[in-house]
Chains A and B, each alone.
Chain A
């Protein structure tokens, strides 16, 4: 019974972590322009992240190391520096985008321009990290994230042709806007396979003191949680395809177009639900990314870390998330368009994947860390696939950014 509760909490948490400004924006854009055709990218990204999250949790439970600890210890400081810098940069951009997402939700709710909300949002997030515990952040905030299920309700109520949805789950070549199509596919994959997600997950497993008895729980949380998250993303895409696309809104280049999505289904409440979903999902993600930034630095350099400690007991750790949050608010406060920043940072995330995923291949096959619980053939094949995919994405993301980006 306790395990069952643990699993359901974990699933809720991972849904909260999965769905953020990146997956919402990329799914909405893809649905508006290409209908159901890009559903396969969400499905593929979700399968990849299930494998990576399961491995991150298994590694933490068996070796009592976080992924960051493992990379530094196994590959040495000089090699660790590259993923460290890449993830710090990507996380910073993603955090900025998430703050932008909350700020837009606040603008939708109040009519006051999003720039003005950047620092208040960063301050509120900081206050929760400063005073709150890991349990509060992990469970409380992500529980609120369940509001995003309204997209699933809307998708079902719009009665899509499920056969068409299934066809979209199979990759196909675009009939128009070829460069844009592939750029969106890259962004969707970047939004689904986020390094912060699996790195945060392994830190959480160590914070919650997982051991080998959690391996089954871990597998269930990774599989169910990420699938639920992916389902909601697909629902966003379906709603965008049926509402925006059908009303001739093909090019989502302004966030003010997005709240229209839920209005045909829920009327005025659709607007409220959209603003609330966007705000809460992005706020939860902002908390996790800021925390992950501090985890990464503290674990990389061996400082004391832990969200349950008081800031005065881990000053270095607390200072990292404090600085990160306020610095990440600056671009939004200066008026940088959050939607463009989001799409850009998702493509960059995809390009950074090889640096963070290659270590999995070594760490999860090293008996000194995972003993009997090392990767089987299927898991290794999945990692190799993600690495290969990451390399392709890294090579194509930048040219596509230039030719196909919004």
Chain B
């Protein structure tokens, strides 16, 4: 398996097959005397912006902090040891409702989309 080819930019789903996002970044741990090890995947706009460059990354982080609090100034992470299956999608053994990853979609549902009749 090649990380950049086979993991990065793949669709991520949770254990209920809910689409969470794409693998926007990978986090590896450097270890003394041993090869690096993947510890987590990153999702969300900050991780994406960082791939375009350091500056867009900083701007997006600052914007996220201003919009939704200091805690949101870092990308969402899912630990690599939660991986359950890698096929068309990557399935993680988590329940997305217990994370903040889709908080903005919930906000949209509660404040905008849900208020339009027929939603």
Residues of A at the B interface (CB closer than 8 Å) are 63-65, 69, 72-73, 76-78, 80-81, 130-131, 301-305, 310-312, 315-316, 318-319, 322
Asked whether B12 lies within 8 Å of A302 as measured between CB atoms, the reply is yes
Asked whether B9 lies within 8 Å of A303 as measured between CB atoms, the reply is no
Q: List 22 A-B contacts (CB under 8 A).
A: A64-B88, A65-B88, A69-B11, A72-B9, A72-B22, A73-B10, A76-B8, A76-B51, A77-B9, A77-B48, A80-B9, A302-B12, A302-B20, A302-B43, A304-B18, A304-B19, A304-B105, A310-B119, A311-B118, A315-B105, A318-B113, A319-B108
Q: How far is the CA of A32 from the CA of B96 in the complex (A)?
A: 59
User: A311 and B11 in contact (CB under 8 A), knowing A302-B20, A305-B19?
Assistant: no
Q: How far is the CA of A73 from the CA of B104 in the complex (A)?
A: 24
Report A-chain residues with C-beta under 8 Å of the C-beta of B18.
304
User: A311 and B116 in contact (CB under 8 A), knowing A72-B22, A303-B19, A304-B19?
Assistant: yes
Report A-chain residues with C-beta under 8 Å of the C-beta of B9.
72-73, 76-77, 80
B30 within 8 A of A: no
Partner of A315, one of B20, B22, B88, B109: B109
Q: How far is the CA of A301 from the CA of B8 in the complex (A)?
A: 13
B112 within 8 A of A: yes
B91 within 8 A of A: no
Q: Hey, what's the 0/1 contact readout for B23-57 against A, CB within 8 Å counting as 1?
A: 01000000000000000000100001001100000
Q: How far is the CA of A227 from the CA of B12 in the complex (A)?
A: 38
Asked whether A311 lies within 8 Å of B10 as measured between CB atoms, the reply is no
Asked whether A302 lies within 8 Å of B116 as measured between CB atoms, the reply is no
Q: How far is the CA of A362 from the CA of B53 in the complex (A)?
A: 26
Asked whether B21 lies within 8 Å of A319 as measured between CB atoms, the reply is no
**20 new A-B pairs (CB below 8 Å) besides A303-B19, A312-B114, A315-B114?**
A64-B88, A65-B88, A69-B11, A73-B9, A76-B9, A77-B24, A77-B51, A81-B52, A130-B118, A130-B119, A301-B21, A303-B21, A305-B19, A310-B119, A311-B116, A312-B113, A315-B108, A315-B109, A316-B104, A319-B113
Asked whether A131 lies within 8 Å of B118 as measured between CB atoms, the reply is yes
Main secondary structure of the interface of B (DSSP, over half): mixed
Q: How far is the CA of A322 from the CA of B88 in the complex (A)?
A: 29
- B53 to A: closest C-beta gap in Å: 10
Q: Hey, what's the 0/1 contact readout for B75-119 against A, CB within 8 Å counting as 1?
A: 000000000000010000000000000001110110011101011
Q: How far is the CA of A402 from the CA of B51 in the complex (A)?
A: 38
Q: How far is the CA of A287 from the CA of B21 in the complex (A)?
A: 25
Select from chain B the residue with minimum beta-carbon distance to A313: B109
Asked whether A311 lies within 8 Å of B105 as measured between CB atoms, the reply is no
Residues of B at the A interface (CB closer than 8 Å) are 4, 8-12, 18-22, 24, 43, 48, 51-52, 88, 104-106, 108-109, 112-114, 116, 118-119
- B79 to A: closest C-beta gap in Å: 18
Report A-chain residues with C-beta under 8 Å of the C-beta of B4.
76
Would you list the 8 A-B pairs with minimal beta carbon distance, nearest first?
A302-B22, A302-B21, A315-B108, A315-B113, A311-B119, A315-B109, A304-B19, A312-B119
Report B-chain residues with C-beta under 8 Å of the C-beta of A72.
9, 22
Q: How far is the CA of A302 from the CA of B45 in the complex (A)?
A: 12
Q: How far is the CA of A316 from the CA of B104 in the complex (A)?
A: 9
Report A-chain residues with C-beta under 8 Å of the C-beta of B109.
312, 315
Report A-chain residues with C-beta under 8 Å of the C-beta of B52.
78, 81
- A313 to B: closest C-beta gap in Å: 8
- B22 to A: closest C-beta gap in Å: 4
Q: How far is the CA of A78 from the CA of B4 in the complex (A)?
A: 13
Q: How far is the CA of A312 from the CA of B18 in the complex (A)?
A: 14
User: A301 and B22 in contact (CB under 8 A), knowing A76-B8, A315-B112, A316-B105?
Assistant: yes
- B33 to A: closest C-beta gap in Å: 31
Report B-chain residues with C-beta under 8 Å of the C-beta of A311.
113, 116, 118-119
Q: Which of A65, A72, A73, A322 has the most CB of B within 10 A?
A: A73
